[in-house]
Amino acid sequence: MATEEVAKPAPLPPYPEMILAAIESLNEKVGSNKSAISKYIEGKYGQMPPTHSSLLTAHLARMKESGELIFLKNNYFRADAPDAPPKRGRGRPPKDPNAPPKPTTSPRPRGRPAKAKDPEAEADKPPKKPKTAPAPAPAPAADGSTPAKRGRGRPPKVRPAEPTAA
């Protein structure tokens, strides 16, 4: 049995180290995007595993969540870099308690503006009559001579009288 040594490629360093080295050496002012990091790693370390793309994505996401990297406008920055933008939380920032109050101008009333009253127009109108109780409605005649006032809506269906069984 002959002992043959197979040329094994040098083991790759961990992905977080490769990513940080790539961002450091690319040294872009606006940060490094995922494709630039991937191309740098492939160029420096040669043959990468077939799952390189998904591994890189997973490690970038993990490093972003842990705070090692800052992700801004589709680019990654080192968190401890001096030119990295300040980390900001989600949502609206809180009000500054030391800020001077805004000068309040005369607040406009809400809603539709009132109609301008014309004193000459009111003088031409006759005075309004005082309201009185409405007259009671006349009772419908039993003989059917005067029709009863119909109510609102669709009238009920008229059913023919049922013949009596005798």
Q: What is the average per-residue pLDDT within 99-121? A: 77
**pLDDT band (50, 70, 90) for residue 159:** confident
CA-CA distances (angstroms) from residue 150 to 103, 137, 146, 156, 157? 63, 12, 12, 11, 14
Contact 41, 34 (CB under 8 A): no
Residue 152 clears pLDDT 70, i.e. is over it: yes
Is 18 within 8 Å of 26 (Cβ atoms)? no
- Mind listing the pLDDT tens digit for each residue in 51-78? 999 999 999 999 999 988 888 888 998 8
Amino acid at 25: S
Query: Stretch 75-88: mean pLDDT, rounded?
Result: 76
Q: By percentage, how much of the chain surpasses pLDDT 70?
A: 75
pLDDT surpassing 60 at residue 120: yes
Whole-model pTM: value is: 0.48
Q: Which residues pair with 78 in a beta bridge?
A: 69
pLDDT attached to residue 59: 94
